[in-house]
Amino acid sequence: MKNIFNYIHLGLLFVLPLILCSSHKNTLTHDKGVVINGVKWATRNVDKPGTFTEKPEDAGMLYQWNRKFAWNNIDKYATNWNAIFSYGDSWEKPNDPSPTGWRVPTINEIKTLLDTNHVRNEWATENGVNGRKFTDKATGNTLFLPAAGDRDYTDGMLRCNDICGTYGCYWSSTDFRSDDAYYMYLGNNGVFWSNSYLNYGRSVRAVAKTEDSLESSKETLAVDEYFEDFITSFRYHGKFRIARCGVVGGIGMVNIGKSPLYDYAFYLYNSHEEPEYYNDLTNEKYLSILKPTENKKMNLRFDKINGRWFMVEIKNLEFDFNNTANFEAFIYQFSTDSIFRNEHIKFPLKYSFIRDNENGYQEKTDYLTKENVFQYNFFDKGDFVFFYDNENSDESRMLLHMRGYENGISNYYYFEKFDDTWQLIEFIDYSL
Protein backbone atom coordinates (compact mmCIF):
# COMPACT_ATOMS: atom_id res chain seq x y z
CA MET A 1 0.00 0.00 0.00
CA LYS A 2 2.87 2.30 0.84
CA ASN A 3 4.42 1.62 -2.55
CA ILE A 4 1.19 2.60 -4.25
CA PHE A 5 1.19 5.97 -2.46
CA ASN A 6 4.82 6.46 -3.38
CA TYR A 7 3.97 5.88 -7.05
CA ILE A 8 1.06 8.30 -6.83
CA HIS A 9 3.29 10.86 -5.13
CA LEU A 10 5.98 10.48 -7.80
CA GLY A 11 3.35 10.69 -10.50
CA LEU A 12 2.01 13.95 -9.10
CA LEU A 13 5.52 15.37 -8.92
CA PHE A 14 5.97 14.53 -12.60
CA VAL A 15 2.54 15.62 -13.88
CA LEU A 16 1.99 18.76 -11.77
CA PRO A 17 4.74 20.82 -13.45
CA LEU A 18 3.32 19.90 -16.83
CA ILE A 19 -0.13 21.03 -15.71
CA LEU A 20 1.27 24.29 -14.36
CA CYS A 21 3.32 24.92 -17.51
CA SER A 22 0.34 24.12 -19.71
CA SER A 23 -1.86 26.43 -17.66
CA HIS A 24 0.73 29.24 -17.88
CA LYS A 25 1.07 28.77 -21.62
CA ASN A 26 -2.69 28.87 -22.10
CA THR A 27 -2.97 32.17 -20.22
CA LEU A 28 -0.75 33.76 -22.86
CA THR A 29 -2.95 32.65 -25.75
CA HIS A 30 -6.36 32.65 -24.08
CA ASP A 31 -8.30 35.39 -22.30
CA LYS A 32 -11.70 35.33 -20.61
CA GLY A 33 -12.51 38.81 -21.93
CA VAL A 34 -14.89 41.40 -20.56
CA VAL A 35 -17.95 42.96 -22.20
CA ILE A 36 -18.04 46.78 -22.18
CA ASN A 37 -21.00 48.45 -23.87
CA GLY A 38 -21.77 45.40 -26.00
CA VAL A 39 -18.21 44.66 -27.20
CA LYS A 40 -16.08 41.87 -25.73
CA TRP A 41 -12.55 43.14 -25.06
CA ALA A 42 -9.48 41.17 -24.04
CA THR A 43 -8.35 42.04 -20.53
CA ARG A 44 -4.68 42.28 -21.59
CA ASN A 45 -2.69 43.86 -24.40
CA VAL A 46 -1.29 41.86 -27.30
CA ASP A 47 2.32 40.92 -26.62
CA LYS A 48 4.38 38.98 -29.16
CA PRO A 49 2.30 37.93 -32.19
CA GLY A 50 -0.32 35.40 -31.14
CA THR A 51 0.04 36.02 -27.39
CA PHE A 52 -1.30 38.25 -24.61
CA THR A 53 0.72 39.82 -21.81
CA GLU A 54 0.77 38.01 -18.47
CA LYS A 55 -0.96 40.78 -16.52
CA PRO A 56 -3.56 43.44 -17.45
CA GLU A 57 -1.16 46.25 -16.58
CA ASP A 58 1.72 44.95 -18.76
CA ALA A 59 2.51 47.11 -21.79
CA GLY A 60 2.89 44.38 -24.38
CA MET A 61 4.44 45.09 -27.79
CA LEU A 62 4.11 48.08 -30.13
CA TYR A 63 3.04 47.43 -33.72
CA GLN A 64 3.04 49.38 -36.97
CA TRP A 65 -0.37 49.38 -38.64
CA ASN A 66 -1.20 46.24 -40.66
CA ARG A 67 2.11 44.59 -39.75
CA LYS A 68 2.84 41.64 -37.50
CA PHE A 69 6.40 42.57 -36.49
CA ALA A 70 6.61 44.27 -33.08
CA TRP A 71 8.89 46.29 -30.79
CA ASN A 72 8.95 46.71 -27.00
CA ASN A 73 8.27 49.96 -25.11
CA ILE A 74 11.53 49.78 -23.16
CA ASP A 75 14.46 50.36 -25.53
CA LYS A 76 14.71 54.00 -26.63
CA TYR A 77 15.97 53.14 -30.12
CA ALA A 78 14.35 50.59 -32.42
CA THR A 79 16.27 48.07 -34.49
CA ASN A 80 15.07 46.96 -37.94
CA TRP A 81 12.56 49.81 -38.10
CA ASN A 82 10.56 49.82 -41.36
CA ALA A 83 10.53 53.37 -42.82
CA ILE A 84 8.20 52.47 -45.69
CA PHE A 85 4.54 52.76 -44.76
CA SER A 86 2.28 49.73 -44.69
CA TYR A 87 -0.97 49.91 -46.66
CA GLY A 88 -4.36 48.32 -47.00
CA ASP A 89 -8.06 49.06 -46.64
CA SER A 90 -8.11 47.34 -43.25
CA TRP A 91 -5.80 45.40 -40.94
CA GLU A 92 -5.51 42.23 -42.98
CA LYS A 93 -6.05 38.87 -41.31
CA PRO A 94 -2.55 37.46 -42.07
CA ASN A 95 -1.02 40.53 -40.39
CA ASP A 96 -3.23 40.52 -37.29
CA PRO A 97 -1.04 39.79 -34.22
CA SER A 98 -4.01 38.94 -31.99
CA PRO A 99 -4.24 35.43 -30.52
CA THR A 100 -6.67 32.95 -32.07
CA GLY A 101 -10.28 34.02 -31.62
CA TRP A 102 -9.37 37.71 -31.33
CA ARG A 103 -8.67 40.59 -33.73
CA VAL A 104 -7.70 44.28 -33.85
CA PRO A 105 -10.83 46.40 -33.11
CA THR A 106 -12.51 48.63 -35.67
CA ILE A 107 -12.88 52.35 -35.06
CA ASN A 108 -16.61 51.83 -34.46
CA GLU A 109 -15.81 49.39 -31.65
CA ILE A 110 -13.37 51.86 -30.13
CA LYS A 111 -16.09 54.51 -30.23
CA THR A 112 -18.36 52.26 -28.13
CA LEU A 113 -15.64 52.32 -25.47
CA LEU A 114 -15.61 56.13 -25.57
CA ASP A 115 -19.41 56.44 -25.36
CA THR A 116 -19.77 58.37 -22.10
CA ASN A 117 -23.53 57.72 -22.02
CA HIS A 118 -22.78 54.06 -21.31
CA VAL A 119 -19.13 53.95 -20.22
CA ARG A 120 -17.30 55.89 -17.53
CA ASN A 121 -13.52 56.34 -17.90
CA GLU A 122 -10.89 57.72 -15.55
CA TRP A 123 -7.13 57.97 -15.16
CA ALA A 124 -6.05 55.19 -12.82
CA THR A 125 -3.06 53.22 -11.52
CA GLU A 126 -3.00 49.42 -11.42
CA ASN A 127 -0.09 47.79 -9.54
CA GLY A 128 2.03 50.90 -10.03
CA VAL A 129 1.22 51.28 -13.75
CA ASN A 130 -0.64 54.32 -15.08
CA GLY A 131 -3.44 53.93 -17.57
CA ARG A 132 -7.11 54.50 -18.18
CA LYS A 133 -9.91 52.51 -16.57
CA PHE A 134 -13.23 52.01 -18.38
CA THR A 135 -16.38 50.99 -16.49
CA ASP A 136 -19.63 49.81 -18.06
CA LYS A 137 -22.33 51.84 -16.29
CA ALA A 138 -24.97 49.12 -16.70
CA THR A 139 -22.98 46.08 -15.58
CA GLY A 140 -20.07 47.46 -13.58
CA ASN A 141 -17.58 45.54 -15.75
CA THR A 142 -14.16 47.22 -15.90
CA LEU A 143 -11.29 47.32 -18.39
CA PHE A 144 -7.79 48.72 -17.78
CA LEU A 145 -5.57 49.95 -20.65
CA PRO A 146 -1.97 50.79 -19.67
CA ALA A 147 -0.30 53.98 -20.90
CA ALA A 148 2.45 52.24 -22.88
CA GLY A 149 3.55 55.22 -25.02
CA ASP A 150 4.40 54.73 -28.70
CA ARG A 151 7.24 54.85 -31.26
CA ASP A 152 7.87 57.60 -33.82
CA TYR A 153 7.00 56.82 -37.44
CA THR A 154 10.30 58.13 -38.90
CA ASP A 155 12.88 56.05 -37.03
CA GLY A 156 11.03 54.09 -34.34
CA MET A 157 12.43 56.10 -31.41
CA LEU A 158 10.38 55.74 -28.25
CA ARG A 159 8.44 59.00 -27.85
CA CYS A 160 7.64 58.72 -24.12
CA ASN A 161 11.22 59.65 -23.09
CA ASP A 162 12.88 57.53 -20.43
CA ILE A 163 9.74 56.32 -18.65
CA CYS A 164 6.50 55.45 -20.43
CA GLY A 165 3.33 55.90 -18.43
CA THR A 166 1.97 59.33 -19.33
CA TYR A 167 -0.02 58.33 -22.41
CA GLY A 168 -0.94 55.40 -24.61
CA CYS A 169 -2.04 54.90 -28.23
CA TYR A 170 -4.10 51.92 -29.42
CA TRP A 171 -4.59 51.01 -33.09
CA SER A 172 -7.91 50.35 -34.77
CA SER A 173 -8.12 48.13 -37.84
CA THR A 174 -9.83 50.88 -39.88
CA ASP A 175 -7.96 53.01 -42.39
CA PHE A 176 -8.62 56.76 -42.68
CA ARG A 177 -6.98 57.14 -46.11
CA SER A 178 -3.95 55.73 -47.92
CA ASP A 179 -1.40 57.03 -45.42
CA ASP A 180 -3.44 57.21 -42.18
CA ALA A 181 -5.45 54.94 -39.90
CA TYR A 182 -7.64 55.54 -36.86
CA TYR A 183 -6.36 55.02 -33.33
CA MET A 184 -7.31 55.80 -29.72
CA TYR A 185 -5.23 58.12 -27.50
CA LEU A 186 -5.44 57.98 -23.71
CA GLY A 187 -3.69 60.08 -21.09
CA ASN A 188 -4.24 61.77 -17.74
CA ASN A 189 -5.94 64.61 -19.64
CA GLY A 190 -8.57 62.43 -21.28
CA VAL A 191 -9.21 59.94 -24.05
CA PHE A 192 -10.18 60.43 -27.71
CA TRP A 193 -9.93 58.85 -31.15
CA SER A 194 -7.99 60.37 -34.05
CA ASN A 195 -5.95 59.32 -37.10
CA SER A 196 -2.23 59.27 -37.84
CA TYR A 197 0.52 57.88 -40.07
CA LEU A 198 0.67 54.11 -40.35
CA ASN A 199 4.33 53.81 -39.33
CA TYR A 200 3.85 54.70 -35.66
CA GLY A 201 4.50 51.81 -33.27
CA ARG A 202 1.43 51.45 -31.06
CA SER A 203 -0.39 49.10 -28.70
CA VAL A 204 -3.08 46.61 -29.70
CA ARG A 205 -5.99 45.67 -27.42
CA ALA A 206 -7.96 42.95 -29.17
CA VAL A 207 -11.70 42.29 -29.31
CA ALA A 208 -13.40 38.92 -29.67
CA LYS A 209 -13.71 37.76 -33.26
CA THR A 210 -17.37 37.57 -34.34
CA GLU A 211 -19.17 36.80 -37.58
CA ASP A 212 -20.47 40.35 -37.80
CA SER A 213 -17.02 41.85 -37.39
CA LEU A 214 -18.10 45.15 -38.92
CA GLU A 215 -16.04 46.77 -41.67
CA SER A 216 -12.70 45.10 -40.82
CA SER A 217 -13.76 41.63 -41.99
CA LYS A 218 -13.96 42.46 -45.69
CA GLU A 219 -11.59 40.55 -47.92
CA THR A 220 -8.60 42.57 -49.12
CA LEU A 221 -7.84 42.38 -52.83
CA ALA A 222 -4.38 42.46 -54.38
CA VAL A 223 -3.09 45.99 -54.98
CA ASP A 224 -1.92 47.18 -58.41
CA GLU A 225 -1.36 50.92 -58.19
CA TYR A 226 -1.02 52.88 -61.45
CA PHE A 227 1.95 55.21 -61.58
CA GLU A 228 0.10 58.29 -62.82
CA ASP A 229 -2.50 57.95 -60.06
CA PHE A 230 0.31 57.57 -57.54
CA ILE A 231 2.44 60.46 -58.82
CA THR A 232 -0.51 62.86 -58.79
CA SER A 233 -0.98 62.28 -55.06
CA PHE A 234 2.79 62.30 -54.54
CA ARG A 235 3.08 65.75 -56.12
CA TYR A 236 0.12 67.45 -54.52
CA HIS A 237 -0.39 65.90 -51.07
CA GLY A 238 2.36 66.37 -48.52
CA LYS A 239 1.36 63.61 -46.10
CA PHE A 240 1.01 61.12 -48.91
CA ARG A 241 4.45 62.13 -50.21
CA ILE A 242 6.03 61.59 -46.78
CA ALA A 243 4.30 58.21 -46.53
CA ARG A 244 5.77 57.00 -49.82
CA CYS A 245 9.40 58.04 -49.23
CA GLY A 246 11.48 54.97 -48.49
CA VAL A 247 14.55 57.25 -48.51
CA VAL A 248 15.20 58.40 -44.96
CA GLY A 249 16.25 62.04 -44.89
CA GLY A 250 15.03 62.76 -48.41
CA ILE A 251 11.54 63.87 -47.49
CA GLY A 252 12.28 67.59 -47.38
CA MET A 253 13.81 67.52 -50.85
CA VAL A 254 10.73 66.41 -52.69
CA ASN A 255 8.41 69.41 -52.77
CA ILE A 256 7.99 69.12 -56.53
CA GLY A 257 5.82 70.08 -59.43
CA LYS A 258 3.37 72.40 -57.72
CA SER A 259 2.97 75.99 -58.84
CA PRO A 260 0.06 78.44 -58.64
CA LEU A 261 0.61 79.16 -62.33
CA TYR A 262 0.30 75.68 -63.75
CA ASP A 263 -1.23 72.37 -62.81
CA TYR A 264 0.25 69.64 -64.96
CA ALA A 265 3.10 67.14 -65.28
CA PHE A 266 5.29 66.00 -68.16
CA TYR A 267 5.80 62.33 -68.97
CA LEU A 268 8.64 61.33 -71.30
CA TYR A 269 8.52 58.18 -73.41
CA ASN A 270 11.48 56.92 -75.43
CA SER A 271 9.36 56.33 -78.53
CA HIS A 272 6.27 57.73 -80.17
CA GLU A 273 4.05 55.16 -78.53
CA GLU A 274 2.63 56.20 -75.18
CA PRO A 275 1.99 53.21 -72.88
CA GLU A 276 -1.64 52.67 -72.01
CA TYR A 277 -2.67 54.79 -69.03
CA TYR A 278 -3.69 51.69 -67.06
CA ASN A 279 -0.72 49.57 -68.04
CA ASP A 280 2.58 50.22 -66.29
CA LEU A 281 5.18 48.44 -68.39
CA THR A 282 7.90 48.50 -65.72
CA ASN A 283 8.13 48.37 -61.94
CA GLU A 284 10.81 51.06 -61.96
CA LYS A 285 10.31 54.71 -62.95
CA TYR A 286 12.22 57.97 -62.61
CA LEU A 287 11.57 61.62 -62.03
CA SER A 288 14.05 64.21 -63.27
CA ILE A 289 14.18 67.72 -61.79
CA LEU A 290 16.33 70.16 -63.78
CA LYS A 291 17.84 73.05 -61.81
CA PRO A 292 19.10 75.57 -64.40
CA THR A 293 20.37 78.14 -61.91
CA GLU A 294 22.66 75.51 -60.34
CA ASN A 295 23.64 73.58 -63.51
CA LYS A 296 22.40 70.46 -61.77
CA LYS A 297 19.58 67.98 -61.89
CA MET A 298 18.04 65.64 -59.36
CA ASN A 299 16.97 62.11 -60.24
CA LEU A 300 14.39 60.33 -58.11
CA ARG A 301 13.82 56.62 -58.54
CA PHE A 302 10.48 54.95 -57.82
CA ASP A 303 9.98 51.22 -57.37
CA LYS A 304 6.75 49.25 -57.21
CA ILE A 305 6.73 47.25 -53.96
CA ASN A 306 3.87 44.86 -53.25
CA GLY A 307 1.72 46.66 -55.81
CA ARG A 308 2.38 50.20 -54.53
CA TRP A 309 4.87 52.86 -55.65
CA PHE A 310 7.59 54.22 -53.34
CA MET A 311 10.47 56.64 -53.80
CA VAL A 312 13.60 54.61 -53.05
CA GLU A 313 16.60 56.65 -54.27
CA ILE A 314 17.75 60.26 -54.74
CA LYS A 315 20.71 61.31 -56.93
CA ASN A 316 22.09 64.84 -57.28
CA LEU A 317 24.00 65.19 -60.57
CA GLU A 318 25.93 67.82 -62.48
CA PHE A 319 24.12 68.72 -65.72
CA ASP A 320 25.23 70.51 -68.90
CA PHE A 321 22.33 72.65 -70.12
CA ASN A 322 24.24 73.58 -73.29
CA ASN A 323 24.43 69.99 -74.53
CA THR A 324 21.21 70.09 -76.55
CA ALA A 325 21.87 66.64 -78.02
CA ASN A 326 20.55 65.50 -74.64
CA PHE A 327 16.77 65.72 -74.80
CA GLU A 328 16.29 67.28 -71.38
CA ALA A 329 18.82 70.04 -72.12
CA PHE A 330 17.17 70.51 -75.49
CA ILE A 331 13.64 70.81 -74.09
CA TYR A 332 14.89 73.37 -71.57
CA GLN A 333 16.21 75.57 -74.40
CA PHE A 334 13.13 74.85 -76.52
CA SER A 335 10.84 76.02 -73.74
CA THR A 336 12.67 79.19 -72.73
CA ASP A 337 14.17 80.56 -75.96
CA SER A 338 11.68 81.48 -78.71
CA ILE A 339 14.40 81.84 -81.41
CA PHE A 340 15.84 78.44 -80.53
CA ARG A 341 12.31 77.01 -80.53
CA ASN A 342 11.45 78.17 -84.06
CA GLU A 343 14.76 76.78 -85.32
CA HIS A 344 13.79 73.34 -84.02
CA ILE A 345 10.26 72.93 -85.37
CA LYS A 346 9.76 70.97 -88.57
CA PHE A 347 7.48 73.23 -90.65
CA PRO A 348 4.78 72.89 -91.73
CA LEU A 349 3.95 71.36 -88.34
CA LYS A 350 1.14 68.82 -88.20
CA TYR A 351 -1.33 69.96 -85.55
CA SER A 352 -4.32 67.86 -84.43
CA PHE A 353 -6.96 68.99 -81.98
CA ILE A 354 -10.43 68.18 -80.64
CA ARG A 355 -13.53 70.21 -81.48
CA ASP A 356 -16.96 69.96 -79.92
CA ASN A 357 -19.96 70.31 -82.24
CA GLU A 358 -23.49 68.97 -82.59
CA ASN A 359 -22.08 65.55 -83.53
CA GLY A 360 -19.93 65.34 -80.40
CA TYR A 361 -16.14 65.53 -80.10
CA GLN A 362 -14.25 65.20 -83.39
CA GLU A 363 -10.55 65.29 -84.21
CA LYS A 364 -9.39 67.94 -86.68
CA THR A 365 -5.98 68.37 -88.33
CA ASP A 366 -4.22 71.50 -89.51
CA TYR A 367 -0.66 72.53 -90.44
CA LEU A 368 1.14 75.39 -88.77
CA THR A 369 3.73 77.62 -90.41
CA LYS A 370 6.27 79.97 -88.88
CA GLU A 371 3.77 82.76 -89.33
CA ASN A 372 0.96 81.22 -87.30
CA VAL A 373 2.75 78.93 -84.86
CA PHE A 374 1.65 79.50 -81.28
CA GLN A 375 3.96 79.92 -78.31
CA TYR A 376 5.18 76.93 -76.30
CA ASN A 377 5.26 78.21 -72.77
CA PHE A 378 5.78 74.81 -71.19
CA PHE A 379 7.13 76.03 -67.88
CA ASP A 380 6.98 78.81 -65.41
CA LYS A 381 10.28 80.10 -64.00
CA GLY A 382 11.96 77.59 -61.73
CA ASP A 383 12.64 73.86 -61.85
CA PHE A 384 11.74 71.61 -64.80
CA VAL A 385 10.14 68.31 -63.87
CA PHE A 386 9.84 65.18 -66.04
CA PHE A 387 8.68 61.63 -65.35
CA TYR A 388 10.03 58.79 -67.47
CA ASP A 389 10.44 55.03 -67.68
CA ASN A 390 14.20 54.88 -68.28
CA GLU A 391 16.97 56.56 -66.35
CA ASN A 392 18.63 57.65 -69.60
CA SER A 393 16.74 59.56 -72.29
CA ASP A 394 19.37 58.99 -75.00
CA GLU A 395 17.02 57.98 -77.83
CA SER A 396 16.22 59.30 -81.30
CA ARG A 397 12.45 59.59 -80.85
CA MET A 398 10.70 61.09 -77.84
CA LEU A 399 7.10 61.66 -76.87
CA LEU A 400 6.42 64.38 -74.31
CA HIS A 401 2.94 64.07 -72.81
CA MET A 402 1.63 66.98 -70.79
CA ARG A 403 -1.13 65.69 -68.52
CA GLY A 404 -3.11 68.15 -66.42
CA TYR A 405 -4.24 67.71 -62.85
CA GLU A 406 -8.05 67.78 -62.84
CA ASN A 407 -8.11 70.48 -65.52
CA GLY A 408 -8.67 68.55 -68.78
CA ILE A 409 -5.20 69.26 -70.25
CA SER A 410 -3.77 66.49 -72.44
CA ASN A 411 -1.14 67.52 -75.02
CA TYR A 412 1.26 65.33 -77.00
CA TYR A 413 4.54 66.66 -78.43
CA TYR A 414 6.43 64.36 -80.83
CA PHE A 415 10.17 64.95 -81.25
CA GLU A 416 12.74 63.26 -83.48
CA LYS A 417 16.51 63.61 -83.65
CA PHE A 418 18.11 64.36 -87.02
CA ASP A 419 21.95 64.42 -87.02
CA ASP A 420 22.09 65.10 -83.27
CA THR A 421 19.54 67.90 -83.61
CA TRP A 422 16.09 67.57 -82.11
CA GLN A 423 12.99 68.72 -84.01
CA LEU A 424 9.34 68.97 -83.03
CA ILE A 425 7.55 67.07 -85.80
CA GLU A 426 3.92 66.86 -84.58
CA PHE A 427 1.62 68.26 -81.91
CA ILE A 428 -1.74 66.84 -80.75
CA ASP A 429 -4.04 68.69 -78.36
CA TYR A 430 -6.58 66.34 -76.77
CA SER A 431 -7.53 68.85 -74.06
CA LEU A 432 -11.22 69.09 -73.25
How many domains in the chain? 2
Q: Are residues 137 and 50 in the same domain?
A: yes
pLDDT at 32 over 90: yes
pLDDT at 229 over 70: yes
pLDDT at 28 over 80: yes
Look at residues 119, 128, 121, 160 and name the one whose alpha carbon lies nearest to residue 55: 128
Q: Are residues 235 and 300 in the same domain?
A: yes
Lowest-confidence pick of 2-6, 147-151, 298-302, 325-329: 2-6
Q: Under 8 Å CB-to-CB from 34, ≥6 apart: which residues?
A: 40, 41, 43, 141, 142, 143
pLDDT at position 212 is 46
Query: What's the CA gap between 46 and 49, in Å, rounded?
Result: 7
pLDDT at 203 over 70: yes
Query: What's the CA gap between 63 and 51, in Å, rounded?
Result: 13
User: Could you read off the pLDDT of 125-134 as tens digits, one per residue?
Assistant: 999 999 999 9
The secondary element (H helix, E strand) that includes residue 2 is helix 2-29
Q: What is the dihedral of CA 48, 53, 57, 60, to 10 degrees?
A: 0
Q: Are residues 238 and 187 in the same domain?
A: no
How many Cβ atoms from other residues are within 10 Å of residue 46's Cβ? 26
Q: Look at residue 345 and tell me if it is in a domain.
A: yes
Q: Look at residue 258 and tell me if it is in a domain.
A: yes
User: Could you read off the pLDDT of 189-202 as tens digits, one per residue?
Assistant: 899 999 888 989 99
How many Cβ atoms from other residues are within 10 Å of residue 105's Cβ? 31
In one-letter notation, the amino acid at residue 138 is A
In this prediction, residues 169-182 reach a mean pLDDT of: 89
Query: Domain end: 217, 235, 259, which one?
Result: 217
In this prediction, residues 235-248 reach a mean pLDDT of: 73
Q: Are residues 90 and 207 in the same domain?
A: yes
User: Could you read off the pLDDT of 260-312 as tens digits, one per residue?
Assistant: 434 667 778 887 777 654 456 678 888 888 888 889 988 889 998 878 888 88
φ and ψ at 144, to 5 degrees?
A: -115, 130
Is the pLDDT higher at 425 or at 177? 425
pTM (2 decimals)?
0.62
DSSP string, 13-45: HHHHHHHHHHHHHHHHH----EEETTEEE-SS-
Q: Look at residue 4 and tell me if it is in a domain.
A: no
Q: Are residues 269 and 412 in the same domain?
A: yes
Name the average pLDDT for the chain: 81
DSSP string, 298-338: EEEEEEEETTEEEEEEEEEEE--TT-TTSHHHHHHHHHH-H
pLDDT at position 148 is 95
Query: Collapsing DSSP states into helix, strand and coil, what is residue 228?
Result: helix
Sign, Cα dihedral of 211, 213, 215, 221: negative
Query: Domain end: 152, 186, 217, which one?
Result: 217
Is the pLDDT higher at 220 or at 139? 139
Query: Domain end: 158, 192, 217, which one?
Result: 217
Query: What's the CA gap between 216 and 106, in Å, rounded?
Result: 6
Determine the structural domain holding residue 130 and report its residue range.
Answer: 30-217
pLDDT band at 405 (very low <50, low <70, confident <90, very high): low
Lowest-confidence pick of 48-62, 295-309, 318-332, 361-375: 361-375
Q: Are residues 385 and 309 in the same domain?
A: yes
